[in-house]
Each structure stands twice: as C-alpha cells, then as structure tokens.
C-alpha cells in the first residue's frame, strides 16, 4: 500500500508538471507540533518547531484543486513542561510527510479580499522517537520496547512509516494574478498511539531488563532522576492513555505561484483578481 501510494503520488507530480493550465507551485513555512500523552492540548504553539514544505496543485475548477506536497518538521514534548511531571518522560522526532489532498475554495479566489478554504486527503509520514539519557547520550526508543511492544501479548511493534488523514482549513489572499499568500492549519488523524513512544501501562522491569536490557528499563520510567522523584518502579501503573490517539499538525504561511496560463486565462482557476473577467474581446 505504501509503495502504491508513492507511485501514485509521483505519477501525479509528473502529470501536473506537464499540465499547461492551472498549475501552481506551493511553498509552506510554519511550525509543526503534536498532541498526545506528553502534551494533551489539541492545539498549542508550546514546544512547536520550525517546519517547511513544497508542492504542486492543479485547479480543476475555480473552487476545487488537487494538491500534492512534501513537508518536513519536528515534534517533541517533555513532562517537565506538562501535567505529569513525576513521570519525567520526554521525546523528540523528525517528521517527513508526503500527502495528496483535495482543496475546496468557498468562493473563487479574488472575488473577496480573503478566500477561505478547506481540504482533506491522504498522507504517508515517517517518524522515529528518541530521547537523551541523564548523561546526554541519544537513544531511539522503538528498539527499546519501553512498554513491552513485540514481546508482551497484545502489544505489537509499531511501524515508523504509516498512513494519516490530513484535513484542515485556511485562507488565501491574491497579491497578483499569478501569486497568492495564505495561512493554513492542517491536522493529521493518525492510527497509532506511539508517536511519542507512550501509550499504555508500565511493564515488569525484570521482564523488560531480560528482553531489552538495562537502558530500556532506565528510559521507560524516569521519575528517579528527579530530586524529589520516586525511585520505585510503578509496575502495572498507567504510563499513557491508549484511548487517546496521537496527532500532529502543521500551522503556517503559504505562498503560491501560477506556473501556467490558468484555468480561465491569465491568473485562472480563480487565482487572480481578474480571473473571472477574462472575456473575449469584441472584434468588429
């Protein structure tokens, strides 16, 4: 399925690159962030990171466009900045994403100063959570199976490359017939609770030690690193909330450049102020 998606994605890029009208180059610059067990707010700029992207879109009508894009960003969270300080966990992960979606403009671009739109589609993303131990050494968390993934019944290993459903909304404002600027918020509905490597309960540290080693035990519960923290390993205690799936989202500015003549002439697809005024001249 993943190979099929990427073949479809790059085939669409090649198709759009050969299009004569309605083709746009889109740039994105903003932030990436996440919502999950270490940061439970659905939206916040706290602990956000710089993100960027590039893509193409093709105007099917002056309301509907198909878009494809590649984005990169980073997510992280730390219990020291959250509600569950005693747990003392933290993580970071680079994000890469390829997506394909449909964008619907509520009004043709240029009809008003601001044009709102919504979008939804499908995406493939890659993540790989990591942390640093008390001595500053970096460790990737998946191989450590901090919650017994891969050797405890019902706790399967999670994949680092998965599907997501991107959706969101934004506004655009034309700067000319061929350039527009905008602002967009896009959420990703995920099908994993391990974006942050935290999901369910603490496992038996003796079993974890036997299967994954001392470092896995050390990084699965870090309350003992705090001056006032408990050194007693909370076997069977709640480590995360499996009923609350993780999310990530991008927020930022968009900049689009018309590459062709447009759906309806100069600035077409409603992407310029005069897009719907391109009437044929009276030749008499």
DSSP secondary-structure letter at 79? Answer: G
Quote the pLDDT of residue 266: 39
Q: Is residue 60 part of a domain?
A: yes
Q: Residue 33 falls within a domain, yes or no?
A: yes
Question: How do the pLDDT tens digits run along the chain, 284 residues long?
Answer: 556 555 555 655 565 555 556 899 999 999 999 999 999 899 999 999 999 999 999 999 999 999 999 999 999 999 999 888 999 999 999 999 999 999 999 999 989 999 999 999 999 999 999 999 999 999 999 999 999 999 999 899 999 999 999 999 999 999 998 999 999 999 999 999 999 999 999 999 999 999 999 999 999 999 999 988 888 999 999 999 998 899 999 999 999 999 866 544 333 344 444 444 444 444 43
Can you give the pLDDT at residue 243? 87
pLDDT score at 274: 44
H or E stretch covering 8: helix 2-17
SS3 category, 219: helix
**Per-residue pLDDT, 15:** 56
Tell which phi-psi region holds residue 48, choosing left (phi > 0), alpha (psi between -120 and 50) or beta. beta
Q: What is the pTM of this model?
A: 0.85
Q: Is residue 28 part of a domain?
A: yes
Quote the pLDDT of residue 110: 86
Collect all residues with Cβ–Cβ distance below 8 Å to 100 and sequence separation of at least 6: 5, 8, 9, 12, 66, 67, 68, 121, 122, 123
The domain tally of the chain equals 1
In-domain check, residue 18: yes
CATH no. for residue 41?
A: 2.40.160.20
Q: Is residue 192 part of a domain?
A: yes
Residue 14's domain comprises 2-132+160-200+246-271
State residue 101's pLDDT score. 97
Q: Does residue 166 sit within a domain?
A: yes
Q: Write down the pLDDT at residue 258.
A: 92
Confidence (pLDDT) at 83: 86
Q: Looking at the domain assignment, is residue 277 inside a domain?
A: no
Q: Does 108 reside within a domain?
A: yes
């Amino acid at each position: 399925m993943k190979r099929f998606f990427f073949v479809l994605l790059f085939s669409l890029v090649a198709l759009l690159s050969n299009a004569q009208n309605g083709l746009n180059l889109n740039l994105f610059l903003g932030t990436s962030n996440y919502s999950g067990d270490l940061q439970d707010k659905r939206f916040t700029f706290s602990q956000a990171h710089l993100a960027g992207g590039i893509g193409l879109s093709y105007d099917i009508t002056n309301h509907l466009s198909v878009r494809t894009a590649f984005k990169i960003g980073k997510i992280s969270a730390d219990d020291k900045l959250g509600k569950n300080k005693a747990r003392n966990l933290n993580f970071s992960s680079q994000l890469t994403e390829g997506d394909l979606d449909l964008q619907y403009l509520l009004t043709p671009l240029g009809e008003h100063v601001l044009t709102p739109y919504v979008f939804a589609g499908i995406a493939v993303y890659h993540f790989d959570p990591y942390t640093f131990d008390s001595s500053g050494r970096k460790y990737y968390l998946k191989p450590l199976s901090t919650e017994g993934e891969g050797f405890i019944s019902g706790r399967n290993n999670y994949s680092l490359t998965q599907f997501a459903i991107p959706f969101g909304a934004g506004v655009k404002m034309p700067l000319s017939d061929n350039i527009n600027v905008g602002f967009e918020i896009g959420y990703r509905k995920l099908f994993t609770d391990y974006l942050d490597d935290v999901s369910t309960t603490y496992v038996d540290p003796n079993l974890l030690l036997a299967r994954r080693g001392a470092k896995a035990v050390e990084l699965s519960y870090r309350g003992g690193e705090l001056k006032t923290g408990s050194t007693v390993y909370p076997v069977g205690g709640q480590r995360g909330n499996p009923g609350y799936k993780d999310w990530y989202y991008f927020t930022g500015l968009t900049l689009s450049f018309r590459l062709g003549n447009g759906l309806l002439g100069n600035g077409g697809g409603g992407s310029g102020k005069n897009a719907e005024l391109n009437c044929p001249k009276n030749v008499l």
